[in-house]
Amino acid sequence: MGEAPSRKTSRHKPPSRIRYEKENPLLSIRIPKEYHEKVKDYGIRRCGSLSKYLKQCVDIQQTLVAMSIETLRKFFKLPANIVDELYSLYQLKPSSTHVAKSFSDLGLDYTIQTSSGMKLNIAICLAYLFLCGYGGVGIKKIASITNDSLDKARKRIVLAATELLRIFYRMLINQMHQHLESMCPLEITDIMAMIMWSLIHSVDLKALAPIQKPSNRTQAPALTIDPKALQGFKETIENIKRIVGEIKEIAKKMEETLREEDKWKDSHSKA
């Protein structure tokens, strides 16, 4: 007696479906059951679907890397073979039809003088920050490509992070005052959550906390401070003072605007 034929039937797929599946392969991962719906819901709230959210995360990284490479190419006049090497390290292909913008194209082409008197271009500093931060190129590699000293390269990354935080503060305050009622708070909340998460898991969190003055009843322990750390702390304080001053100016303008609105409402209510 012959073997029974298989009942498994292959469903015919139209060419458009075959092409779609080839261009959009399936990504299958396993996560704990209690996270399954939460992850899907998070992706939907952020971008409409989990796949769109993951794609956005990758797009952000690739865009920043491409902008960083273009910034170094522009300022240091890097040869084509070095530029191609940088792209290959991040598994990116430079587009022949579209050239990535550099950070200077966004208005970040300005210099800041450090406490040691060194003047550094912020666009270049940001390129160092993102190329090192995404792990494709080490700081020594970048310094050798741009003929920088290792000390100067490290200063670039620190300055880029500090300046980026200052810009973020100004953007955040402006957005919260101008679009407080209409803006979607989800993106800002996500950023704040990531900052808080980083602080919670920082081994140096106690060192970042405000220093309390010892009371008269207890003897303060001897404290030794690294001069470099002290100088960095002083620079941070000065940056905070400047930011606080800017926030006060914004608050002052907001108060004046609210007073004008109250006067306008009173005049129209009496009319």
Residue 135: left (phi > 0), alpha (psi -120 to 50), or beta?
Answer: left
Residue 47's pLDDT is what?
81
What is the three-state SS of 164-176? HHHHHHHHHHHHH
Residue 261's pLDDT is what?
66
Residue 222's pLDDT is what?
46
Residue 116's pLDDT is what?
83
* All residues at 6 or more sequence positions from 232 whose CB lies less than 8 Å from its CB, including other chains: 158
Convert the pLDDT of each residue in 173-198 to its tens digit: 776 666 555 545 556 667 777 777 76
Residue 74's pLDDT is what?
92
Residue 53's pLDDT is what?
84
Residue 126's pLDDT is what?
93
Which residue numbers in the chain have pLDDT < 50? 1, 183, 220-223, 225
Residue 220's pLDDT is what?
43
Residue 52's pLDDT is what?
86
CA nearest to 247, candidates 135, 169, 164, 175:
169
